[in-house]
Amino acid sequence: MSDQPPSSLDTIGVVGAGAMGAGIAQSALTAGLKVILHDSSGAALERARAEVRARIGRLAEKGQITAQAAAEAEGRLTLGERLTDLAPAQIVIEAIVEQLEPKQRLFAALEDIVPADTVLATNTSSLPVSAIARACRNRERICGLHFFNPVPLMRLVEVIPAADTSERTMERALALAKRLGKTAVRVKDVPGFLVNLLGRAYLTEALHIQHEGVARVATIDRIMREAAGFRMGPFELMDLTGIDVNFPATQVVYQGFQHDPRLKTTPLHESLFMAGQLGRKSGRGFHDYREGAAAAPACGDEGSVAAPSAGPPITAWVAEEAPGFEALVQRGVKLVTANQAEAILVSPRGEDATTVAARLRLDPTRVVAVDFLGMERSFLTLMAPVGGHGAAQRLAAFLRGTGLAVAVVKDSPAFVAPRILAMVVNLACEIAQMGIGTPEDIDVAMRLAQNYPRGPFEWGEWLGPRTVHETLRQMQAVTGSDRYRPSLWLRRRALLGLSLRAPV
Ligand SMILES: NC(=O)c1ccc[n+]([C@@H]2O[C@H](COP(=O)([O-])OP(=O)(O)OC[C@H]3O[C@@H](n4cnc5c(N)ncnc54)[C@H](O)[C@@H]3O)[C@@H](O)[C@H]2O)c1
């Protein structure tokens, strides 16, 4: 391998001039690099050039770069009609069709074209980098450089060593990511790498909540946006990325991790995929985007989320103390004895309301479980044991009258937001346990690539490692499902009262 310092990087090659290749080329051009762009389709090459020009032109119009810098950036782009045109490239990034054999053939062919010290990187999102490298003689110089769409806007890049990748190759790949203005995280060559693996928790747990009939998709989306502060609810996110993208990605990760139940999706996900209801791009997915379609009710039979109504004062008894009930008293909920109370209040961690009612021998028709996770954002979620929604609806009506947004959902272990967040934190802990990424990198990656308002470890600290651990243990006990088994990383830190970021 060459001893050239990374700063001597001058020319990169990009193979595949589709959405990703064009974006990578644009980012490299505006970072001052020369780019040789190759595609097996001449039309795709011309289209990419026109797109890159237009986008760089817009940057100049908006004053983000000077007109001269834009002209120079465009001047650094060369279209390579033959693969051999890539010979001068110091790093080649492959962004062709997502299939193993064409990628292997391409890498084997590139080996005979570029100098021995040229780094060969793949932008694959679902194939093992080591499987692509297998077709090559010199596997030390092969790595994954996983960009996110749209490349010029997305700041994260995952850099992935394959089985034989040298440290020198990793350094050069990391230096290129930095040169492009990206934040790079180094992650293991596992299905989904870091972001697409961890992203399963947010999406599939929402699907399981829907599958159990706890709440409708619009209600789940609204709770995750308004109570937890996510920019998009899980179903809105799946509709945006496309169910033709996230259903196969979920399958790759689930199969790659040998059918770990934590990564399993639900039949609705597959049936929308099979029906071609792919989300925004096809006008219909979890939500309906067709013209004239009524906005999906955010709550339906789970009860209205926000409509204020001046409910009559409600009497309540707190069966199990928990932080948060004081705030309800301040809003006018009148505390009385158990016999007189219209609502018997509990705030379980991981148990469903039915389990709490049975455990404490409470009158299930009056039990209301309250989730305070969204209280800072003036959002509460309520649920009741099976058959007992009257008291929850009355409490909801009263609290809405005091200006709170309140969702009433069907009985569920850990409501909606605490349940989804426990799964996000748990999978993040498992990823740290497997050494796929560090807690710091996991937080950075999910903030940058998925716009999470807090990284998964930040969520874990905010909720409290013991609370998350207890929530999962109860969810596992209530459902009997291994999907909810706590990660050993989480369990050990929760038991000893340590930070979730405490190293091994
Ligand atoms: N689209 C995304 O959100 C995204 C995100 C991260 C990674 N990726 C990965 O990036 C790669 C490209 O994805 P995309 O969305 O840009 O695809 P795309 O379909 O938009 O573009 C692929 C391009 O590769 C060309 N091509 C196909 N086979 C070729 C070959 N043998 N030699 C040269 N050119 C060839 C096609 O003509 C096409 O222009 C895939 O591996 C994909 O998994 C995609």
- Place 301 in a pLDDT band, splitting at 50, 70 and 90: very low
19: Cβ below 6 Å to ligand 1? yes
Using CA atoms, how far apart are residues 155 and 40, in angstroms rounded to an integer?
A: 28
Ligand 1 center to 152 CA (angstroms):
16
Of ligand 1's atoms, which has the minimum distance to the CA of residue 106? 31
pLDDT of residue 310: 55
Q: How many CB atoms lie within 10 A of CB 145?
A: 27
Of ligand 1's atoms, which has the minimum distance to the CA of residue 124? 41
- Place 307 in a pLDDT band, splitting at 50, 70 and 90: low
- In this predicted structure, the answer to whether residue 5 has a pLDDT above a threshold of 60 is no
Q: What burial class does residue 434 get, using C-beta atoms within 10 Å of its C-beta: 0-12 exposed, 13-18 middle, 19+ buried?
A: middle
Nearest CA to ligand 1 atom 32: 40
Ligand 1 center to 184 CA (angstroms):
21
Identify the DSSP state of 7.
Answer: G
Q: Which residue has the tokens 């929530």?
A: 471
127: Cβ below 6 Å to ligand 1? no
187: Cβ below 6 Å to ligand 1? no
| Stretch 262-286: mean pLDDT | 98
149: Cβ below 6 Å to ligand 1? yes
241: Cβ below 6 Å to ligand 1? no
Using CA atoms, how far apart are residues 369 and 357, in angstroms rounded to an integer?
A: 10
Distance of CA 463 to the CA centre of its chain: 19
- In this predicted structure, the answer to whether residue 166 has a pLDDT above a threshold of 60 is yes
- In this predicted structure, the answer to whether residue 311 has a pLDDT above a threshold of 70 is no
Residue type at 214 in one-letter notation: V
Nearest CA to ligand 1 atom 6: 148
Concerning whether 269 is annotated as a catalytic residue, the answer is no
Concerning whether 158 is annotated as a catalytic residue, the answer is yes
What order do you get walking across the sheet with 119-122 strand by strand?
A: 77-80, 34-38, 11-15, 91-94, 119-122, 142-147, 156-161, 183-186
Phi and psi (nearest 5°) for 19? -55, -45
Residue type at 440 in one-letter notation: E
pLDDT digits (tens, 9 = 90+) for 387-418: 888 999 999 999 999 999 999 999 999 999 99
- 374 close to 266: Cβ distance less than 8 angstroms: no
User: For a pocket test of ligand 1, which of 20, 159, 240 has the largest count of ligand atoms closer than 8 A to its C-beta?
Assistant: 20
Using CA atoms, how far apart are residues 93 and 144, in angstroms rounded to an integer?
A: 9
Identify the DSSP state of 226.
Answer: I
Q: Are strands 156-161 and 142-147 parallel, antiparallel or unpaired?
A: antiparallel
Ligand 1 center to 446 CA (angstroms):
23
Ligand 1 center to 103 CA (angstroms):
10
pLDDT of residue 257: 98
User: For a pocket test of ligand 1, which of 47, 93, 96, 278 has the largest count of ligand atoms closer than 8 A to its C-beta?
Assistant: 96
Concerning whether 81 is annotated as a catalytic residue, the answer is no
338: Cβ below 6 Å to ligand 1? no
Using CA atoms, how far apart are residues 435 and 442, in angstroms rounded to an integer?
A: 11
Q: From the candidates 27, 38, 123, 125, give the one annotated as an active-site residue.
A: 125
Ligand 1 center to 75 CA (angstroms):
24
pLDDT of residue 437: 97
pLDDT of residue 313: 85
Record the tokens describing residue 277, joined without a space. 């209801």
**Shortest CA distance to 120 belongs to which of 82, 85, 81, 160?**
160
- 266 close to 204: Cβ distance less than 8 angstroms: yes
Which residues, in sequence order, are bridge partners of residue 371? 381
Ligand 1 center to 499 CA (angstroms):
41
- In this predicted structure, the answer to whether residue 309 has a pLDDT above a threshold of 80 is no
Nearest CA to ligand 1 atom 37: 41
Using CA atoms, how far apart are residues 223 and 213, in angstroms rounded to an integer?
A: 15
Residue 45: its H or E element: helix 42-61
Using CA atoms, how far apart are residues 209 and 483, in angstroms rounded to an integer?
A: 13
Record the tokens describing residue 346, joined without a space. 């509990």
User: For a pocket test of ligand 1, which of 94, 97, 107 has the largest count of ligand atoms closer than 8 A to its C-beta?
Assistant: 97
What order do you get walking across the sheet with 315-318 strand by strand?
A: 334-335, 315-318, 343-346, 367-371, 379-383, 405-409
Nearest CA to ligand 1 atom 29: 96
Identify the DSSP state of 319.
Answer: S
- In this predicted structure, the answer to whether residue 188 has a pLDDT above a threshold of 90 is yes
Cis peptide before 150 (omega within 30 of 0): yes
pLDDT digits (tens, 9 = 90+) for 202-245: 999 999 999 999 999 999 999 999 999 999 999 999 999 999 99
Which residues, in sequence order, are bridge partners of residue 383? 369, 409
Residue 307: its H or E element: none
pLDDT, the chain, mean = 95
Nearest CA to ligand 1 atom 34: 39
Q: How many CB atoms lie within 10 A of CB 116?
A: 11
pLDDT digits (tens, 9 = 90+) for 98-136: 999 999 999 999 999 999 999 999 999 999 999 999 999
pLDDT of residue 2: 47
pLDDT digits (tens, 9 = 90+) for 428-464: 999 999 999 999 999 999 999 999 999 999 999 999 9
Q: Helix (H, G, I), strand (E, B), or coil: what is residue 147?
A: strand
Q: From the candidates 196, 347, 412, 426, give the one annotated as an active-site residue.
A: 196
95: Cβ below 6 Å to ligand 1? yes
Record the tokens describing residue 30, joined without a space. 């505006």
Record the tokens describing residue 266, joined without a space. 């639900």
Nearest CA to ligand 1 atom 7: 125
Of ligand 1's atoms, which has the minimum distance to the CA of residue 23? 16
Please state, in angstroms and as integers, the Cα–Cα distance from residue 379 to each residue in 113, 282, 322, 347, following that order: 60, 33, 17, 15
108: Cβ below 6 Å to ligand 1? no
pLDDT of residue 297: 52
Ligand 1 center to 20 CA (angstroms):
6
pLDDT of residue 157: 98
Ligand 1 center to 94 CA (angstroms):
8
- In this predicted structure, the answer to whether residue 299 has a pLDDT above a threshold of 60 is no
Using CA atoms, how far apart are residues 100 and 108, in angstroms rounded to an integer?
A: 12
- Place 305 in a pLDDT band, splitting at 50, 70 and 90: low
Nearest CA to ligand 1 atom 21: 18
Using CA atoms, how far apart are residues 125 and 248, in angstroms rounded to an integer?
A: 11
Q: From the candidates 94, 140, 146, 302, give the one annotated as an active-site residue.
A: 146
The set of long-range contacts for 403-406, using a CB threshold of 8 Å and a minimum separation of 24, is 403/308, 403/378, 404/331, 404/378, 404/379, 404/380, 405/226, 405/305, 405/306, 405/374, 405/378, 405/379, 405/380, 406/303, 406/305, 406/306, 406/379, 406/380, 406/381, 406/382
